[in-house]
Amino acid sequence: MKRELEELLFSRYPKILEGCQQEGLGIADGWFTLVDTLCRDLQHLTDNGRGAQVKAYQVKAKFAQLRFYAGGGDSFQKGMIYMASQLASRTCEECGAPGEPCERDYAWFILCPVHAQSRSSK
C-alpha cells in the first residue's frame, strides 16, 4: 500500500490500528476504501457506546483474502469484519473495481480484467 494511504488510515483510526504501526498494513491500494469504511464504522459504533473498542494486531492479504486480525469486538463487529473480508475477495487489489481470484507466479491475487491482463503481460 502507498505510504500516504497507510498513513491516512493510521491517522484516522489510531485506536484500532496502533498495534499494526510497527509492521504496517500488508494490503494493496485497491482495498483502501474497504478497510477505511470498515474502520470508520467500527470506530463510530464504539464512539457512540454501541460496541467495544476493536484493536487490530495484523492487517494483510493472505491467499488473496483480506485478513483483519483483531481483538475486542462483539459479534456484530466481528460480522462487519467478516463481511469486509468477503467483499475484498471480490475487489481488485490494484484499483478497487470488481475482481476475481487470479494466479500469478504461484501466488493468488484478486484482480479486475484490466489488471489481470496487465499482470499477465509482464
Give the interface with Zn ion as residue ranges (CB under 5 A). 92, 94-95, 97, 112, 115
Q: Which is nearer to Zn ion, 81 or 92 (CB)?
A: 92
To Zn ion, the closest distance from the beta carbon of 1 in angstroms equals: 15
Give the number of other Cβ atoms within 10 Å of residue 100's Cβ.
15
Q: Which is nearer to Zn ion, 13 or 32 (CB)?
A: 32
CB 32 within 8 A of CB 55: no
Q: Which is nearer to Zn ion, 6 or 94 (CB)?
A: 94
Residue listed under C-alpha cell 464504539: 46
CB 29 within 8 A of CB 1: yes
To Zn ion, the closest distance from the beta carbon of 111 in angstroms equals: 6
